[in-house]
Structure formats: C-alpha cells, structure tokens
C-alpha cells in the first residue's frame, strides 16, 4: 500500500476518515446490497428447499415456452434469454456511464444513462408481458377429485402438473363438467362451433370426439407453491428493477442539470451503478433457479 502518501498524523478510525478509503455512502450502499442479497437468498433458498422436498415439480420449459407475436410457438428459454441479454447489456451501459463520470464527461454520462434506463424499461416491459401471458392463459385440467376445470397460472393456481392425463378419465369426467367449460373446450379447437340451443348431452358428445381425436389437451394440477414463488420472487426482483429505473432517471436529470459538475465528481452515478449491477446479479440466480434448471 502507498502508505507514504498518507500524512503521518492521519488518525484512522478516529472519525472523519474512511478506514476503507471509500466514502461513507458507498460503503453503506455495499452493506445495503449485502443485506438485500440475503433477503433474495432467503426467498430463493426457501423455494429450492420446497422444490427439493417434492417428488415432482413443474417443468419450466412447458410453462415458459411462449414468445410475443408468435402465437402457439413452443420455444423454451427463448423469451427469457432475451430478457437476460437486455439486463446484461444495460449493466454494460451503466458501467460505461460510471467510466464517463470518472472522466468528468457530462455528455457521455447522459448518453449511457439513457441507454441504461431504456434497457431497464425494456426488461420491465418483457416481464409485464410474461406475467400477463401466465395470468390470463387458461389450461384445462382434471382435478384430483375428478372435476374438469380451466385454470390460469396465479399465486394460488397451478395448471402445470402431469402433461396429458388419460383419455378415458377425461371422457368420464365430461358429463359432470359445466356447459360453459365444455363450450370453451370445443371453441378452443373449433371456432365456428355454435353452442346456441345445444343441450349438455350434445356438448359432451362433441367434446368427447375432440378428446378421442387427441386435439383437446387436459393436464393435471401442479404444486400451487410454484405460482407463489414464481410471482413472489420475480415480482420482488421486478420491483428492484423498477426502483433502479427510477433512481437512474433521477441520476440522469441531476447530470443534465449539472449537479455533479458543480460538486466536482460523479460519485452518485457510481452508487446508482452499484444498485443497478446488483439487480443484474440477482437476475443471474433467478434465471438459474426458475428457468434453467
């Protein structure tokens, strides 16, 4: 260490000087992020513990296989890869903004902060689409009690159990199903079908044909904890992304107004950058635990 540059009467730890040679604010940002890492860690480890305690879990590649604009596509990992690269790229533009700040280049900081904000907003847009797709997409399932229902993926509903249940069991459950459900089931594959004035018996007959032909897909219920953990953890992460975007917008405006030039340094950009990289860091593990393995 360059001890020679320190005047001999410097009283380390005696107040007024940072023992770690970084400002108080940056040290505290690091310690905040460390505590936040434990919060995220606790959530993810709780999810993993529950998953380890189950004989079967949800196959993520059946759940996350959609892509905006490609209706009915079966593309596992595709959309989440896009989200991952958006976040890595916005991390790079953030670190470039910090670099420009070191060089006191106001225009450079502004440019890269805008790119970072754009990346964060794009990520949030992707997440909004993904959530909407899961929350609104209904899937036919045969419950443990032998009742046919249509379920969407929510914090308490999980239609992602066994992929295809036995045809005979489905046909056996059809007469007990509500006319609305039967109509929805038929409409999914035959849009021209007119259910007006048809009795339950005729609907059952039509639905039986579709089930026998293998066109109607009926699964079973999966562990409901899947939705709670997925929406809880990605929601908590998404909330961090959102607050990171808000912080970055404030940093952009403060740069634009020349506050950091007046102060003589761009350290605030570094602190916002630490937060932003942390968001990217957490996503590495969310991506690992929910989508990859």
User: Does residue 218 contact residue 211 with C-beta atoms inside 8 Å?
Assistant: yes
The three-state secondary structure class of 289 is: helix
Which member of 90, 91, 158, 255 binds another protein (CB under 8 A)?
91
Nearer to another protein, 28 or 190 (CB): 28
Nearer to another protein, 190 or 224 (CB): 224
Inter-CA distances, 14 with 3, 129, 211, Å = 17, 53, 78
User: From CA 201, how far away is CA 207, in angstroms rounded?
Assistant: 10
Q: Which of residues 143-162 bind another protein (CB under 8 A)?
A: 143-146, 162
Size of the site for another protein (CB under 8 A): 82
Provide the minimum distance between the beta carbon of 265 and another protein in the complex, in angstroms, as a whole number: 4
Q: Which of residues 1-40 bind another protein (CB under 8 A)?
A: 2, 5-6, 10, 16-25, 27, 30, 34, 37-38
User: From CA 53, how far away is CA 49, in angstroms rounded?
Assistant: 6
Nearer to another protein, 135 or 150 (CB): 150
Nearer to another protein, 2 or 194 (CB): 2
Q: Which of residues 198-257 bind another protein (CB under 8 A)?
A: 220-221
User: From CA 131, how far away is CA 278, in angstroms rounded?
Assistant: 22
Provide the minimum distance between the beta carbon of 95 and another protein in the complex, in angstroms, as a whole number: 5
The three-state secondary structure class of 91 is: helix
As given in the structure block, the two tokens for residue 153 are 């993926």
Nearer to another protein, 41 or 258 (CB): 41
Which member of 32, 70, 85, 137 binds another protein (CB under 8 A)?
85
User: From CA 171, how far away is CA 174, in angstroms rounded?
Assistant: 5
Query: DSSP secondary structure string, 215-262?
Result: -S--B----THHHHHHHHHHHHHHHHHHHHHHHHHHHHHHHHTTHHHH
As given in the structure block, the two tokens for residue 52 are 């380890």
Provide the minimum distance between the beta carbon of 168 and another protein in the complex, in angstroms, as a whole number: 9
Residue 103, CB half-sphere, CA atoms under 13 Å: how many?
A: 11
Q: Tell me: does residue 111 bind another protein (CB under 8 A).
A: no
User: From CA 243, how far away is CA 268, in angstroms rounded?
Assistant: 16
Q: Which of residues 33-62 bind another protein (CB under 8 A)?
A: 34, 37-38, 41, 45-46, 48-56, 59, 61-62
Q: Which of residues 122-141 bind another protein (CB under 8 A)?
A: none
As given in the structure block, the two tokens for residue 160 are 């992602």
Provide the minimum distance between the beta carbon of 280 and another protein in the complex, in angstroms, as a whole number: 6
Nearer to another protein, 62 or 135 (CB): 62
Q: Which residue reads 């899947």 in tokens?
A: 226
Nearer to another protein, 200 or 220 (CB): 220
User: From CA 271, how far away is CA 265, in angstroms rounded?
Assistant: 12
Nearer to another protein, 198 or 232 (CB): 232
Q: Which of residues 264-293 bind another protein (CB under 8 A)?
A: 264-265, 267, 270, 273-274, 277-278, 280-281, 284-285, 287-288, 291-293
């Amino acid at each position: 260490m360059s001890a020679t540059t320190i005047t001999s009467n410097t009283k380390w730890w005696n107040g007024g000087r940072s023992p770690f040679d970084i400002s108080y604010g940056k040290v505290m940002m690091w310690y905040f992020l460390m505590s936040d890492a434990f919060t995220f860690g606790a959530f993810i480890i709780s999810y993993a513990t529950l998953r380890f305690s189950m004989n079967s879990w949800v196959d993520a590649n059946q759940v996350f296989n959609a892509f905006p604009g490609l209706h009915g596509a079966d593309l596992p990992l595709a959309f989440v890869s896009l989200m991952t690269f958006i976040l890595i790229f916005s991390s790079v533009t953030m670190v470039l903004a910090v670099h420009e700040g070191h060089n006191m280049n106001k225009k450079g900081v502004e440019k890269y902060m805008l790119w970072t904000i754009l990346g964060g907003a794009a990520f949030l847009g992707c997440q909004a689409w993904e959530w909407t797709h899961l929350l609104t997409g209904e899937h036919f399932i045969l419950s443990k009690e032998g009742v046919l229902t249509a379920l969407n993926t929510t914090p308490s509903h999980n239609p992602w159990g066994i992929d295809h249940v036995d045809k005979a069991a489905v046909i056996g459950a059809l007469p007990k199903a509500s006319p609305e459900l039967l109509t929805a089931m038929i409409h999914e594959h035959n849009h021209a079908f007119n259910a007006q004035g048809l009795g339950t018996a005729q609907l059952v007959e039509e639905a039986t044909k579709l089930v026998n032909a293998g066109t109607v897909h009926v699964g079973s219920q999966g562990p409901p904890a899947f939705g709670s953990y997925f929406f809880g953890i990605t929601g908590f992460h998404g909330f961090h992304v959102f607050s990171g975007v808000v912080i970055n917008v404030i940093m952009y405006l403060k740069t634009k107004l020349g506050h950091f030039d007046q102060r003589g340094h761009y350290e605030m950009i570094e602190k916002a950058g630490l937060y932003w990289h942390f968001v990217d860091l957490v996503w590495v593990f969310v991506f690992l635990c929910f989508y990859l393995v």
